Amino acid sequence: MDSNKVKQLIEEAIAENPALFLIDWKISPDDKISILADGDEGLSIEEIVRISRHVEHNLDREECDFALEVSTPGVGSNLTLPRQFSKNVGRILEVTLNDKVMEGEIVEADEEGVVIFWESREPKPVGKGKITVEHEEKINYADIKKAIIKVTF
């Protein structure tokens, strides 16, 4: 299977809708094409079908028999692209860094990193008891080992 042609077809299909973005794609040794895509406002079934048809109808099954799968990241999938972080502003993120795991609300995301906000109960500086302290931290994408949106009910 010609991986350059497959890549071109995937990119063409995604480019037809500027709100969509490609997360990953691969061709397995048994010629299964897997495409993982998303959109700034989600990815509708109609868009999944359109991407699938664009790729499938431009490849020749007589030349190479293949399977095709177009999907979106599931709940608990690792965020890898800045657009995925931007899309999830306002949601709770669990992020694993080299030395710690943090959890907080995404308040901002750009091409460099993500800003998360959280509150913690900490001892008062003077006297007994605890106070609520607000924290905000910018985390560079390069420092993130794993980032998952926490689902809350």
CB 5 within 8 A of CB 59: yes
Q: Give the pLDDT score at 148.
A: 95
Give the residue-averaged pLDDT of 73-87: 91
What global pTM score does this model have?
0.81
Residue 105 in tokens? 């609300």
Q: Give the pLDDT score at 139.
A: 96
E-strand ranges in 8-152 read 20-27, 32-39, 67-71, 92-96, 101-109, 113-123, 130-140, 146-149
pLDDT tens string 25-44: 999 999 999 999 999 988 99
Residue 11 in tokens? 């990119």
pLDDT tens string 96-150: 998 899 999 999 999 999 999 999 999 988 888 999 999 999 999 999 999 999 9
Domain limits of the chain? 3-71, 82-149
CATH code linked to domain 82-149: 2.30.30
Q: Assign a CATH topology to domain 3-71.
A: GMP Synthetase; Chain A, domain 3 (3.30.300)
Confidence bin at 46 (pLDDT 50/70/90): very high
